[in-house]
């Protein structure tokens, strides 16, 4: 599977809910909702994360 290349500033939409894994500063609930599905956003940083 090819990796999708993002550029800082690209507009994106969340295809699923994003929950905190404990590493997101400013989110009080360790497993709290960060972004609900369907929300528009902008790429400010990207990397690779392992799926459970």
Cα separation, 24 vs 38, in Å, equals 20
The predicted model scores a pTM of 0.60
Structural domain count, the chain: 1
What pLDDT is recorded for position 42?
Answer: 93
Break the chain down into helix, strand, coil percent, rounded to 5.
Answer: 0, 20, 80
Q: By residue range, what is the domain housing residue 7?
A: 1-52
pLDDT tens digits along 7-42: 899 999 999 998 888 777 777 777 888 899 999 999
What pLDDT is recorded for position 40?
Answer: 96
Cα separation, 40 vs 23, in Å, equals 22
38 Cβ contact list (under 8 Å, min separation 6)? 13, 14
Bridging pattern class, strands 11-13 and 40-42: antiparallel
Looking at the predicted structure, is the pLDDT value of residue 49 above 70? no
């Amino acid at each position: 599977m090819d990796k999708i290349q993002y550029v800082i500033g690209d507009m994106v939409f969340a295809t699923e809910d994003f929950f905190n894994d404990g590493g997101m500063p400013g989110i009080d609930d360790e497993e709290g909702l960060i972004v609900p599905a369907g929300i528009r956003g902008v790429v400010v940083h990207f990397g690779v994360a392992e799926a459970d």
